[in-house]
Amino acid sequence: MNSNSTDQPRVAIVTGGSRGIGRQVVERLAADGYAIVVNYRDNHAEAETAVAAARAAGGDAIAIPADIADEAAVADLFEAAERRFGGVDVVVHAAGMMALSPLADLDLDQLDRILRVNVRGTFAVDQQAARRVRRGGAIINFSSSLTRFARPGYSAYAASKGAVSAITLVLARELRGRDVTVNAVAPGPTATALFLDGKDEQTVARIAAEPPLERLGTPDDIAELVAFLAGPGRWVNGQVLYANGGAI
């Protein structure tokens, strides 16, 4: 599943592709022969490093900046992909933000920022994906296992990711007849800077021991699932896949 009907490489846009899980997805899809558009917001150097890694893995790649919650910027992102590579086959929407606070203490301005990035951003990216992804393609959003864990301090983040799950399930049904799958990956604790930042060793060790597999997830664990949904997993559609080692 790494070429379209004209025998050209399949094309993937990966939002948040300059770091963390998104960066690993870039490398994994590049290894499958995809041409990759690495979306980032601010860090050009990291994005170019991701591009170099994708090319080293066997795929072509470019880096395009865009605020994912700005619908005009997202439209420009997709248009840049189409100009460079001729179309879009896969959209992996991995960009997001997290902020922790007990609900009673949550700064509602912070809540607005989380909802803007995680919910509005998903709408903006999925709107363009729904209009532009070619037949046989895939849209892959990122939810979170925190929608099930109900871990204190994560109310705003979990609420935003619950919205992503709902958007995904509805969009899959709205694309009936298009031959485009829509799914969400819901990682559990994964060893990225987003998860590790601000946690002491004891907290990390306690969380790592929760799943039956007794470890944190890795970006590669999640990237393998994304690669399956992007390619051979054509009969998986309208699902939220919880990738957390069996923690719940």
Task: Catalogue the active-site residues.
Answer: 157
Relative to beta strand 61-65, strand 11-15 is unpaired
For residue 83, which amino acid is it? R
CA distance 133 to 88: 5
| Contact in structure between 173 and 245 (CB atoms under 8 Å) | no
Task: Write the CA distances from 127 to 123, 133, 174, integer angstroms.
Answer: 6, 10, 11
CA angle 181, 10, 61 (to 5 degrees): 120
Sequence-distant (≥ 6) Cβ neighbours of residue 8 within 8 angstroms: 85, 86
Q: Residue 153 corresponds to which tokens in the numbers above?
A: 């301090």
Strand partners, 15: 93
- Which stretches of 49-122 are assigned E, i.e. beta strand? 61-65, 90-93
**Alpha-carbon torsion 61, 67, 73, 74, what sign?**
positive
The residue type of 151 is R
Residue owning tokens 């909802």: 115
**Token pair 């204190």 in the structure block, residue:** 152
